[in-house]
Amino acid sequence: MDGALEAVEEMKSRQIPLDEVAYNTLIDGYAKVGDFDSATQTLKEMDASRFQPGTITYNSLIAGFGKVGRVEDARSLFNEMGRRNVRRDTVSYNALISAYVRVGDIENSVKIVEEMKKKRVRVDATTYNAIIDAYAKKGLFEEVWTWLSHMNEAKVKPDFVTYTILIDGLFKAGDFDAAVDVYEEMRKQRQPMSLITYNMLISIFSRRKVLNKVHSLLADMKREGVMPDIITYNSLIDAYCKSDDLLKAVETFDKMLTENVKPNTITFNTLIEAHVRQGDIDGGFMVLEEMRTHRVRVDGITYNTLLKGTAKEGLIQDMEDILAQMLDKGIKPGTITIAVVAEACVEKRRLDVLERLFEKLRTAGAKPDAMAYAHAIAGFCKADDTEAADKFVELMREDKVEPITHVVNALMHPALSDNETAKAIMDDLSKNGVDPSVTFMLLVDRYASAGDLPRLLHLIETWKKSDLRIDLYPYLAAMNLLTKTSKIKLARGLYADVKQQRLKPSLALINSYVEILCQGGALEEAARTVEEDVHEGNEEVVMSYNILISHFLRLRYLTEAQETLKRLETRSRPNVVTYNTFISSFAKQGEMDSAVSTFQEMKRRQIEPSVVSYSVLIVGFAKRMQFDKALEFFEEMLSASIQPDSIVYSAMIDVFAKTGNLAR
C-alpha cells in the first residue's frame, strides 16, 4: 500500500494524470487497510475524471466495507452500481453476501443468492461456501446439508474451502465422526493439497487432538514431497502439549531443528505453557533459556505464562524475578496475571512482597485491576492488618479502579465478620460509590450461602421499601432455601409477592415453588401452577412436569402420573429423566414388565437410555433372581457404549457369583 501511494504521489508531482488502473489500485489498497475516507475521496476524484468507476472499483469498496461489518455502506454501493448501470458480477454479489454473513444476517444473504439466480448471475463455490460457513458457525447443520445439496444440483463442485468449513464446523459442534467422514471424502475426491492446505487441516485436527489424522496428513505430505514448515510443526507441538504428551512435543521440536526449520516465539511459548501446566516450572525456565540461545523474541505471553506458573506454585522469589525482567523490558503483565500474583502472595502470607510488587506495577504504569485489589485487601483483612487494607483501598481510589464491587466481595468474606458487621461495611462502602443494588445482591448471596432465611426475607422487605426496583434474584434465593424446609405457607406468600411486584416468575423459581408444594402434599396446586405459569414454547417445561411425575409416583398415584405425562406431551417432548422416573417407580414395586415396557417405549421414541435406565433394570432383575434378564440388559448396555457405574458392576458381580460364572 505504501508503494502504491508513493507511486501516485510521484505521478501527481510530475503532473501525470492517473489512469483507471491507478485509481482502482488506490481504492483497493485504501479499502484493504480500512481507510474508507481516502477510498471514497479517491472514488469521487475518479468520478470527476474521464474515468468512470467500474465493476472492479465498486467490488473493492463493497468487500472492504463488508470485512469491517459496515453492511449498510456495502449495500448502498451495491445499489449505486445498479443505478449507474455498472455491471454487478459474481464477485459483487459474493462481496455483499460476505458482508451480511459477517454480521450474522443469513436471511439477507440467502435472498441475495436467490436474486443472483433470477438475474442469471453465476453462483460459484465462493457463494455457496459463504452461506454454508454461516450456517455451520451457528451449528445449523440441517441447513448446511441442504445447501450442499443445492451446490451439487447446480453442478458446482465443493472445493478445499467447502471441506475445511465442514470439518471445522462439525468438530466445533462435537460431531467428530461426521468431521472425519468429510475429511475422508475430501481425500477420495483428490482435492489438490498445497502446504497451506495441509497446514489448515493439520491445525484443525491438532486443535481437536485427533492425532491419528494429523499423522496421516504428515505421511501424505511426505509422500507428495511437501515439506512441513514452522506452521506445521507449531500445530503438531501444540497438539502433543494439549494431549499432555510433552515427550512427543520435545521430540517434534528436535526433529524440526534437524530439518533446519527455525522455531519462533509461538513454538517456545507452547512448550513453556505445557511445562508450566504440568507444574514443571524448572522445565519452563529451561525452555526460556533455550529460547534466548536461539535468539527468539521473548514476548508478553512468555513472561505472563511463567509469572502465573511461579505464582500458582508459590515460588515467590522466581515470581519477583520474572516480574522484574518483564518491567525492565517494558512489558506489562495482564490484569489476570496480576490478580494471580496477588492471590499467591496472600496465600503464602507474603504481604511484604505484595506491597512491593504493587508499588513496582503502579510505577511502571501497570495498574492492578479490581480483582487484584480485592485479593490484596482480603489478604490484609485476614491478617488483621487494617492499616494496610485501608492503604490499599486508598490506592485503589487513586487509580480510579471501577467497579469497586470486587473489593466489597473481598470484605464480605465469611472469615472477616458476621452478617451485621458485613452490612455495616457495605453501608460504608455504598457512601463511597458502590451501587446500592450491588450491596443488596451481595447480601443476598451472603445470607443464601449461610442458609440465613430470616435475614434474607427481611432483606427482601427492606429492598421493596427502597427506591430500587427489586428483581427475581432474592426471591429465587429464598425459594431455594425453602425447598429444604418445606414451609409451604411461606412459599405461597413469596410466590404471591413475586406476582404482586409484577415480576415474571422464571422457570427456576416456578420449579422450586412446585417442589415445595409437592413436598407439602399440595400436588393439585402444584400441577395448576405448572399449567398456568409455565409458558408455551419453553423447551425446559419438561423439568416442571418431571417434578410432578416424580411426586405422583412416589405416592403411587400412577393414573395421575400418566395423565401428567400426557399433558407434558401436548407441550413438549418427554426426556430420559421422565421415563427413568417411571421405570424406577415400576422397578421399586416389582412391576418389571411395566418397567421394561416403559424402557422400550422410550427407545421407540428415539430417546437414548442413560446409565440410570439400565442400572434400574439390571438391579431390579438381579434382586428378583431373574439373572438372564439382568445379563441381557447388561450386554445391551455395553453394546450401546454406555459405561456401567459402580451400582451396575456390584449387581453384575452378584449375578455372576450366584450363577457360578466366577471367572467373569
pLDDT in tens, 289-303: 999 999 999 998 998
* Of residues 293, 211, 289, the one with CA closest to residue 244: 211
Residue range(s) defining the domain that contains residue 656: 575-664
* Of residues 381, 382, 377, 357, the one with CA closest to residue 367: 357
- Identify whether 438 is part of a domain: no
Q: CATH no. for residue 603?
A: 1.25.40.10
H/E segment holding residue 613: helix 611-623
- Identify whether 594 is part of a domain: yes
* Of residues 537, 533, 536, the one with CA closest to residue 508: 533
- Identify whether 579 is part of a domain: yes
When pLDDT is cut at 50, 70 and 90, the band that residue 437 belongs to is: low
DSSP string for 191-215: ----HHHHHHHHHHHHHTT-HHHHH
Residue 67 pLDDT > 60: yes
The answer to whether 571 and 603 have CB atoms below 8 angstroms apart is no
pLDDT in tens, 68-123: 889 999 999 999 999 999 999 999 999 999 999 988 888 999 999 999 999 999 99
DSSP string for 509-525: HHHHHHHHHHHTT-HHH
Report the C-alpha gap between 60 and 55 in whole angstroms.
9
What share of the chain has pLDDT > 70, as a percent?
Answer: 88
Cell numbers for 96, please give them.
455483499
When pLDDT is cut at 50, 70 and 90, the band that residue 416 belongs to is: very low
Cell numbers for 228, please give them.
512441513
Show Cβ contacts of residue 465 under 8 Å, excluding neighbours closer than 6 positions. Answer: none
pTM of the model: 0.49
When pLDDT is cut at 50, 70 and 90, the band that residue 623 belongs to is: confident
Q: Which residue has the cell 506489562?
A: 332
- Identify whether 344 is part of a domain: no
By the 10 Å C-beta count (0-12 exposed, 13-18 middle, 19+ buried), 222 is classed as exposed
* Of residues 317, 328, 363, the one with CA closest to residue 341: 317
Look up residue 238 and give its amino acid: D
Look up residue 443 and give its amino acid: L
Report the greatest alpha carbon distance in the chain: 103
Interval 563-576 mean pLDDT:
86
Domain count for the chain: 1
Look at the alpha carbons of 124, 125, 129, 130 in this order and tell me if their dihedral is positive or negative.
negative
pLDDT in tens, 191-244: 777 787 788 888 888 887 888 888 888 898 888 888 999 999 999 999 999 888
- Identify whether 453 is part of a domain: no
- Identify whether 346 is part of a domain: no
Report the C-alpha gap between 18 and 424 in whole angstroms.
74
- Identify whether 243 is part of a domain: no
When pLDDT is cut at 50, 70 and 90, the band that residue 18 belongs to is: confident
- Identify whether 231 is part of a domain: no
Look up residue 470 and give its amino acid: I
**638 vs 437 pLDDT, higher one:** 638
When pLDDT is cut at 50, 70 and 90, the band that residue 306 belongs to is: very high
